[in-house]
Amino acid sequence: MHAKLLFGLLGCVSAQEGAQVLTEALKEAPAPTPPSVGKYMPVLEEYSFRTPIDEINEFTGMRMLEHWDAGGAAVIQRSFVRLTAEKQGQKGWITNRHLFDLQEWSLEMELRASGHSPYLYGDGLAIWLVDAYDHIEGPVFGREDYWRGLGIFFDTFQNIDQQHHHRHPFIYAMINDGTQHYVPDAEKKQDASKQALPGAAENSGCSYDFRYHEARHDVSVLNHTRVHVFLKDSVLKMRVQQTHRGGEGEWYDCFEMRDVVMPIKQGYFSISSATGDLVDNHDIIHFTVRSLEKVDDPIADYEHWMTAEKQQLQLKVEEHDLRPAEGLQRDYTRVLRAQAAAIKSLNADMDQLKQMLEFEMASVVAGLSVARKSIDQKDEDLREVNKKLKDSESMQDKLRESNLDVESLKKEVLQVKNSSGGWGWPFIILFLMLVALAGVGYNRYRKIMKSHLP
């Protein structure tokens, strides 16, 4: 192709013909191809989701996940799924609609747990593979207790009233046959066979700070925690990794449970989250599931798959680069490549800005909801107080009228006393009884009004 270009340019009789030959040669320049990578298992799309999420529900007009149902406080954004926001007493969840029956599998998820408080936050989130499709809200990270299947928990809340054998945040896995009661970090003496205690199984958890403090200047919406979990040859293993713009940290081996026996042969994937008195944002960026059947090394399989994913992303960016044939333009090459690099940087900045704005808007909506609820409650309280004050003023008017009646009666009694001689004392006694009765009634009214006023 380069020879064709050279001879075409030498044989040109005009600048216009030369430009035409150059244009044709550039069109024939091959697109960049990624280097070869090892074999890997593909993503099972029916059990997975990735961003951006552009699917829109035609009835509600809201974003939706093609193979998932969302409920509770969960809100689907374009760049993430927010299970719970920084709001007290929330429970949010998403559940996959398809029955999963593979016995050996690999799971990769990116999450973001973050908030404005540097010290007080909670409660956390969980990944489920359980026999029940229906999600019933409960005390275990937004799901009911006595589950049957696997639960992987990302616990950020440390109960100061209980003794711990680990540092929070704490990540751990628990398998339940449906008979065990979840007891978070408790030191209660009870039958171990009926108690699901975090970290009770050998090598089933780790302390890992996967939560981000949003007020830090070195934290952005691109700070995620990547989770890789796989079940292979009765071994359940998890690795975690911190990511940031333009890079990622080292993998950290969290736990490796051996001789794992799942109580179910098939089930449904689900993710849930909860907040209590303490709050945090719990977001899921993506969730992918792949088969490990006929795979000897799950970690090598994951690395090959991740390398291919990164190459696909890189190819999209490298569309701005010049092709080799364009190098014949000499001095223009440096300028055009600099422009291509600027376009890459601009695209990355715009993508971060879009995610940041979406993230902040989701937080603003949650904050406005809390403020509105508080204002509505205070407005209702003020109306109730105003009503009681009006009732009190009306009662005081009636009491004043009663006092006037008593004074009038008193005068009449005195007149009767002066004019009736011996009959005066019975009227005086009757008058005193009426006055005493009126005083008792007035005191009773004062006590009732004090007890009802806020």
Identify the three-state secondary structure at position 121.
coil
The stretches in the chain having pLDDT less than 50 are: 1-13, 15, 18-19, 21-23, 25-32, 161
Angle at 66 between CA 64 and CA 71, to 5 degrees: 50
Nearest-angstrom CA–CA distance, 75 and 420: 88
Cα-based distances in Å from 244 to 110, 155, 194, 226, 415: 12, 22, 41, 10, 98
Per-residue model confidence (pLDDT) at position 21: 46
Buried/exposed 125-161: b ≥16 CB within 10 Å, e otherwise: bbbbbbebeebeebebbbbeeebbbbbbbbbbbeeee
Phi, psi of 58 (to 5 degrees): -70, -15
209 close to 187: Cβ distance less than 8 angstroms:
no
Per-residue model confidence (pLDDT) at position 118: 86
Q: Which residue has tokens 């449904």? A: 268
Which among 18, 271, 6 has a CA at the least distance from the CA of 126? Answer: 271
Nearest-angstrom CA–CA distance, 41 and 108: 13
Q: What global pTM score does this model have?
A: 0.69
Enumerate the β-bridge partners of residue 51: none
Nearest-angstrom CA–CA distance, 109 and 127: 10
Per-residue model confidence (pLDDT) at position 288: 97
235 close to 106: Cβ distance less than 8 angstroms:
no
Enumerate the β-bridge partners of residue 111: 225, 284
Which among 120, 64, 73, 119 has a CA at the least distance from the CA of 93? Answer: 73
Per-residue model confidence (pLDDT) at position 6: 41
Nearest-angstrom CA–CA distance, 413 and 109: 92
Per-residue model confidence (pLDDT) at position 358: 86
Enumerate the β-bridge partners of residue 196: 182
